[in-house]
Structure 1
Amino acid sequence: DHEDIAMALYEKFGSEFNEAKIYRIRFTDLIDWVLSLNNFDGTREQATEGHLEQIQAKWVYEWRDNK
């Protein structure tokens, strides 16, 4: 679920990334971070650009809710 992944990324990085920085993350970095999360069982091949964009958007919402 995109929201669960975004919450895990926020917990991992906290306020290190603001909205502008989240949207500037390269997808190659983002997929590496997602794949390294505990309890994530997806694969690199399943991570489409659309999925990564959804994760970024949900991460921004999580950041906004916690700032």
Structure 2
Amino acid sequence: MGFARAVSDGKFRAYIEDVAIHKEFQKLGTGTKLVSILLEELSQIDVISLFCEYDLIPPMLLSVLSLYVFEDI
């Protein structure tokens, strides 16, 4: 179906490294759900980074990311 993973020092920084969803499960909210779970797991981390192409982020995921104060740079 898919996966999402992050690299972290366990305290200060985390980097969401990969989110990959099988083509059959794309546009069904699968990636959004996985990232939401990952962000909950990382909630004790001070700085969480996600680097990706803006136009590849589905609108549903953008609304989740905005809850965690992700910024466009």
TM-score by length of 2: 0.36
Q: Higher relative CO (CA 8 A, sep ≥ 6), structure 1 or 2?
A: 1
Higher strand share: 2
Higher helix share: 1
Whose Rg is larger?
Answer: 2
